[in-house]
Structure 1
Amino acid sequence: MIKEAICEGSDVQDALKKAKAQLGLDETAEYEFEIIQTEEKKKFGLFGGRPAKVRVFIKDTPDERAEKFLRDVLDKMTLQSVEIEKSTDENAVEFNLSGEEVGFVIGRRGETLDALQYLTSLVANHGEDPYIKVTVNTGNYREKREKTLEILGRKLAFKAIKTGKKTSLEPMNPYERRIIHTAVQKVNGAISWSEGENAARHVVIGPDPKVKQYRKGGYQNNRRGGRRSYNGGRKSSTAPVNPDRVPLNEGGETGLYGRIK
């Protein structure tokens, strides 16, 4: 978005001063301007003449556009009490939301928060500016969600090894699917892949056919009458990690839904 002011003055400097005052710019503010016309003095002090006219304009930065959009959306959701705290880094901006009504912003399993982040990123990156990563968070919700998904991925990976059966998860966005894939990749003997299209795309976790399965169907009694684990007596938590297994790329490193062009 471009903010501008067109003003006239006795000369160019006078017109600039009036335009800057109209935009509320101080002496240290950055701005651009163009001279629409230069002043002309009256002939013989009576005839002709014209004032100088300039156009002063400033462009919103990507993070300013994003913050304004986010505030407008929250206001239209009648969530005026929700506060926005902005922190910027090189090619990245994070908005942290707080307030009593912030639960309405999160939505079911974070779906509203995800959608809000996606739209805010679209607004921020609409233009010729360098791409920036936009994150919309509330407290440490995303960190907690990521930890929950990691635990879920490992739990279902060990279940796949134990039972020899695959499990389909609920549909998730690319970012969350990638968290699941990364967690499963750390468990030797299990693999994960994605199925479905668009909003129905989900992760499936199953046993790795390339890895020998020691047991199927749970625990069995050993010769002494005791119970041993499905993995040849070894605890599942000590399963080695295969260094050659690379996590699937389900969203990249640029944001919740990947880079937006």
Structure 2
Amino acid sequence: MSKVVASGKTVEDAVNQGLAQLGVSRDRVTVQIVSQPSKGFLGLIGVKEAKVELTLLPEPAPEPVETAKPLPLDLHEPEASIEEEEKDPYETAAEFIIDVGKSMGLDVSVEIQHARDATTLHIFGPDLGLIIGRRGQTLDALQYLANIVANRVSSSYVRLVLDAENFRERRKKTLEDLADRLAGRVIRTHKEVVLEPMSPQERKVIHSKLQDHPQVKTYSKGEEPNRRVVITIK
């Protein structure tokens, strides 16, 4: 059965009757209204129902089932992303120093000089007094930070020494002269001399200078950063 005529009090009722007869849903038929309902005289006499004709639509062709294509079998593990090459710790430290110089308004360059016990980064540029600081305190602080930066990117421990305008050598000469002068005072007065607080590197210069002295000896006392060298009679 592909076509039915159905009646009802309203067009909608008639359509529902026809759908029930066909056993399909609304989207499976076309509807043609044969006649509209009417109430007749005074709404009581000659009442006429709605009449519709429903034609069944042909069955839609089934959609082809798309089978999933098998993925190519890859027996190899996915390639690991290429790891970033290990950064050169010395170049990294040099870049750090240049950046610090820029933040201080200085245009500096850095030359890397390797040695057996340490690598020295020589700083060149104008107004390096700002980087050296009072008695090299700023340079020492920058050296401490540069070592941290370098060792963060190095697989093995590296030791850096920062120098500017040959300050390290000049400071060493000043400290050695000071050690000789104060040793002479201790010998004359037989009273120990306590130096001002120094960095471990500067204390080492004093100790090394006087370690073979026949009449005086040295030792350190106090806690960092206020640790001091003491020169006393043997």
TM-score class, shorter-chain normalisation, is: 0.5 to 0.7
Q: Residue type matched to 1:181 in 2? A: H
Q: CA deviation at 1:69?
A: 1.6
Match of 2:133 in 1: 107
2-structure distance, mates of 1:130, 1:54: 25
Match of 1:207 in 2: 233
1:198 counterpart SS class: coil
2:111 aligned with 1:85, yes or no?
A: yes
Q: CA deviation at 1:192?
A: 1.1
2:173 aligned with 1:180, yes or no?
A: no
Match of 2:31 in 1: none
Q: CA deviation at 1:59?
A: 2.0
Q: Residue type matched to 1:93 in 2? A: T
Match of 1:62 in 2: 89
Match of 1:171 in 2: 197
2-structure distance, mates of 1:144, 1:192: 22
Match of 1:216 in 2: none
* Structure 2: runs of 5+ lacking an equivalent: 1-68, 73-77
2-structure distance, mates of 1:69, 1:151: 34
Q: Which has the larger radius of gyration?
A: 2
Q: Residue type matched to 2:89 in 1? A: P
Match of 2:123 in 1: 97
2:169 aligned with 1:134, yes or no?
A: no
**Percent of aligned pairs sharing the same letter:** 38
Q: CA deviation at 1:91?
A: 7.2
Quick check: 1:91–1:130 contact (8 Å CA) kept in 2? no
Match of 1:149 in 2: 175
Map 1:18-97 → 2, pairs under 5 A: 55-56=81-82, 57-79=84-106, 81-89=107-115, 92-97=118-123
Quick check: 2:98–2:108 contact (8 Å CA) kept in 1? no
Q: Residue type matched to 1:177 in 2? A: R
Quick check: 2:88–2:154 contact (8 Å CA) kept in 1? no
Detail structure 1 runs of 4+ shifted over 6 Å in the superposition: 46-49
Q: Residue type matched to 1:78 in 2? A: G
Q: CA deviation at 1:131?
A: 1.4
1-structure distance, mates of 2:156, 2:85: 17
* Structure 1: runs of 5+ lacking an equivalent: 1-45, 209-261
Match of 1:198 in 2: 224
Of the candidates 128, 147, 150, which is equivalent to residue 124 of structure 1? 150
TM-score, L = length of structure 1: 0.56
Structure with more contact order per residue of length (Cα contacts < 8 Å, sep ≥ 6): 1
Distance 1:198 1:188, change over 3 A: same
Distance 1:140 1:76, change over 3 A: same
1-structure distance, mates of 2:157, 2:135: 28
Q: CA deviation at 1:53?
A: 7.4
